Chains A and B, each alone.
Chain A
Amino acid sequence: MRRQYIWIVGAVGLVGSALGARGAPPAMAGAISGKVTYTGTPPKMKPIDMAKEPSCAKQHATPVTTENVVTGPGNALGYVVVYISAGDPGSSAPSEAVRYDQKGCQYIPHVAVMQVSQPLEIYNDDQTSHNIHPLARVNPEWNKSQPIGAPPIHTTWEKPEFIPVKCNVHPWMHGWFLVLTTSHYAVTGEDGGFSVKGLPPGKYTLTAWQEQFGTQTQDVTISGTETKTVDFVFKARAY
């Protein structure tokens, strides 16, 4: 009876620690939030004409544009990935898969962030074939055809890398896989806002990455459960 009790307690403890390793917020956790903006003139996004792919063209009531620089009101910058690049001891990958869609001949989301070894599921929701081609250099590069109605592609990336993604069938399709070692990251929306949560007290380096404007870093010290405000300003160039 006593032996059985000990076994149960041990099992519960193991499950608990596994949950903790998967990113459950620690007892004392701070956060960093802020806004990413730009100065100068950003390049004009170009319209994408999908006339050659009518099944995709009819899904868009308004013209789709390139997404390499997405801006919002108040000089806000979207699709900027803000993450802890130093100071985070790292954590094992969550088992929840990151979903990446090919819909309307676009990659949704334009930038997908995942951890090393985290499952990635790639869907073709279109009535046309796609051929997804992540241009990896550190990880093994591959390209896979996904005809209409094909099952999702299940994969993982085993090394941290920022991987541009293209479609070998539709040259305008372009996206990113950002494979990070940290679970502490955020992607800005069109308002440029971000919030990186669940940070135990400590010294961190916070990096903001934008696909065309590069990276910026700031050192941040978190003590207690405070929320620090950190803003990033990128210098935009029209060309």
Chain B
Amino acid sequence: MGKLFAVVVVLITLVSAAIFASHIWWLPVDISAHGHAIDRQLTETMATSGALFVLSQLALAVFAWRYGDRKDGRKVTAFPGGVTPMVVLAVVLVGAEILALTFVGSKVWAGIYQAPPDPNSLQIDVQAEQFAFYFRYPGADGRFGSVHPERIDEASGNFFGLDPANDTTARDDIVVPTLGIPVNRPVLLTLRAKDVNHAFYVPELRIQQDFVPGLVIPLHFTATDTGKHEIVCTQLCGLGHYNMRAYVEVMSQPQFDQWLKERAAEQ
């Protein structure tokens, strides 16, 4: 029985390692300027934790093979060499790995999230609410109207709480449920939440950031390839969380200009 268990453990280890090593089940395509740093970090994490996984599983198989079916029927109650050295070794090894990943990972994360946005970024305001995303462009005047949460009214499509009657800069603001952006141009999103915490996650853009009610959180990136991808909420935000999604459409600059013109005409 011990030998059979050892064989099964080895098989499971080899098959799961092969799935990752051959990239059968791997990251989605990367369409962001910063994504290579994230991918390198993920690969390093996967390689180090994967190596530990394979080693520990093989060790498990060796012990099961060696001590699983003792003919004398006596159970092994002591670890060879004593328990303390093994525990100390495991804590030091795993601890060192976690610390190394944290330090290197924080540097990569800060290099993307803490870096100042490009001053020529296209700024888009984002409102998250149960259970949808809305995106606002400043319109022809290039200025966003001010937001007044008490004026939010879904019935008339006023998802941001604009005051067009008194605020002329709000009149030409373009509000849409799809995030249209031009390719190869820095984009700066300002994230707002109407009700509870939400998250903005586009795996292909290698971007994930929480929305927090009361805060306006900047998030910037540059998309490097055209296409349509899903934006999903990754913070459990209520009953309809599973259904909270939108799409990001990366277009060429002329296509984007045309798209924005058409959306402006609908307002």
Binding site for B on A (CB under 8 A): 43-44, 46-49, 51-53, 66, 68, 128-129, 131, 145, 164, 166, 168-172, 174, 211-212, 237, 239
Can you report 14 A-B residue pairs in the complex whose CB atoms are below 8 A from each other?
A: A49-B177, A51-B246, A52-B245, A53-B243, A131-B239, A145-B239, A164-B155, A166-B155, A169-B239, A170-B132, A172-B132, A211-B155, A239-B164, A239-B165
Whether, in the assembled complex, B150 has its beta carbon less than 8 Å from a beta carbon of chain A, the answer is no
* B243 contacts A169, C-beta separation under 8 Å: yes
Question: Other than the known A52-B243, A172-B154, what 4 A-B pairs have Cβ atoms closer than 8 Å?
Answer: A46-B266, A52-B132, A171-B154, A174-B155
With a cutoff of 8 Å between Cβ atoms, the chain B residues found around residue A145 in the complex are: 239
Contact with A along B80-116 (1 / 0, CB 8 A): 0000000000000000000000000000000000000
Assess whether A169 is in contact with B157, with CB atoms less than 8 Å apart. Answer: no
By the criterion CB–CB under 8 Å, are A131 and B240 in contact?
A: yes
B218 to chain A, nearest CB (A): 24
CB atoms of B155 and A66 under 8 A apart = yes
Inter-chain contacts of B159 with A (CB < 8 A): 171
A66 touches B157 (CB 8 A): yes
A239-B171 contact given A52-B246, A171-B131, CB 8 Å threshold: yes
Q: Among residues 37 to 69 in chain B, which have CB atoms less than 8 Å away from a CB atom of chain A?
A: none
Segment 208-267 of B: residues with Cβ below 8 Å from A? 238-240, 243, 245-247, 266-267
Bound Cα distance from A174 to B266, whole angstroms: 20
Nearest CB to that of A174 among chain B residues? B155
Closest to B158 in A: A46
CB pair B266 A168 closer than 8 Å:
no
Residue in contact with A171 in the complex, picked from B132, B164, B171, B176, CB distance below 8 Å: B132
- Are B177 and A52 in contact, CB atoms less than 8 angstroms apart? yes
For the complex of A and B, the 3 pairs showing the least CB-CB separation, nearest first, are A169-B240, A46-B157, A174-B155
Please determine whether B156 and A168 come into contact, CB atoms closer than 8 angstroms.
no
| A46–B131 alpha-carbon span in the complex (Å) | 19
Residues of A close to B177: CB separation below 8 A: 49, 51-52
CB-CB < 8 A to B154: which residues of A? 166, 171-172, 174
Q: Which of B156, B240, B246, B267 contacts A129 (CB 8 A)?
A: B240
Separation in Å of the B35 CB from the closest CB of chain A?
Answer: 25
A139 to chain B, nearest CB (A): 19
Q: Which of B154, B155, B266 is most buried by chain A, counting CB atoms within 10 A of its CB?
A: B155
Given contacts A44-B267, A171-B159, A174-B154, A51 and B130 within 8 Å (CB-CB): no
Task: Give the distance in Å from the alpha carbon of A44 to the alpha carbon of B164 in the complex.
Answer: 13
Closest to A52 in B: B245
Please measure, in the bound complex, the distance between the C-alpha atom of A141 and the C-alpha atom of B55, giving whole angstroms. Answer: 59
Is B13 an interface residue when CB atoms closer than 8 A count as contact?
no
Q: How far is the CB of A134 from chain B (nearest CB, A)?
A: 13
Q: Which of B129-172 contact A (CB under 8 A)?
A: 129-132, 154-157, 159, 164-165, 171
Interchain CB contact under 8 A, B243 and A51: no
CB distance from A68 to the nearest CB of B (A): 5
Given contacts A169-B239, A174-B154, A239-B165, contact A46 B129 (CB under 8 A): no
A221 nearest CB across to chain B (Å): 36
- By a CB distance below 8 angstroms, the chain A residues around B171 are 239
Give the interface centre of B154, B171, B176, B239 by most chain A CB atoms within 10 Å.
B154
Query: How many angstroms from the CA of A164 to the CA of B238 in the assembled complex?
Result: 21
Kindly provide the distance from the CB of B250 to the nearest chain A CB, expressed in whole angstroms. Answer: 16
**Which residue, B132, B164, B175, B238, has most C-beta atoms of chain A within 10 A?**
B132
CB–CB B243/A171 < 8 A = no
- The reply on B32 being an interface residue by CB < 8 A is no
Complex interface: chain A residues within 8 A of B267 (CB): 44, 46
Q: Are B164's CB and A49's CB within 8 A?
A: no
Query: A66 contacts which chain B residues (CB < 8 A)?
Result: 155-157
A170 to chain B, nearest CB (A): 8
- Please, how many angstroms separate the alpha-carbon atoms of A128 and B242 in the complex? 12
A115 to B256, CA, bound (A): 51
Instruction: Tell me if B190 is interfacial: C-beta within 8 Å of chain A.
Output: no
User: Cα distance A66–B247 when bound, in Å?
Assistant: 21
With a cutoff of 8 Å between Cβ atoms, the chain B residues found around residue A172 in the complex are: 132, 154, 157
